Amino acid sequence: MSQVLPFSNSSNIKVQTLSTRRVVITGLGAITPLANNVADTWDGIVNGKSGISSIDWMTDTPFASRFGGVIRDFDVSAYIPAKDAKRMGVFMHYGIAAGCQAFQDSGIEVS
């Protein structure tokens, strides 16, 4: 089932409703302030650890807060060639890494 959503400055876009959409989760991946993989992230959650800490590198900003959840010890070269990584934002690195982990966790074999 689809519905058409009218937008004022663009053509009509068809959107599939969630009730007819099927999703299968085959694997898990996680890049979080707690850890850079699912197992260590889950261990941190179970043991009540917090990924929130002081942000040392954000000293010259107008923001009053100096703490938050920062991804630490992340090596993008384990997932993406350095040449490609330079062309992407760091948020893309995290998403690709988590996706690679999920694919590996799924056990799907590509032939």
Per DSSP, the residues of 4-62 read EE--TTS--EEEE-GGG------------SS-SSHHHHHHHHHTT---EEE-TT--SSS
pLDDT, one tens digit for every residue, the chain (111 residues) = 445 455 554 555 565 566 677 778 789 999 999 999 999 999 999 999 999 998 877 777 787 788 889 999 999 999 999 999 999 999 999 999 999 999 999 998 888
Residue ranges per structural domain of the chain: 27-106
Q: Is the pTM of this model over 0.85?
A: no
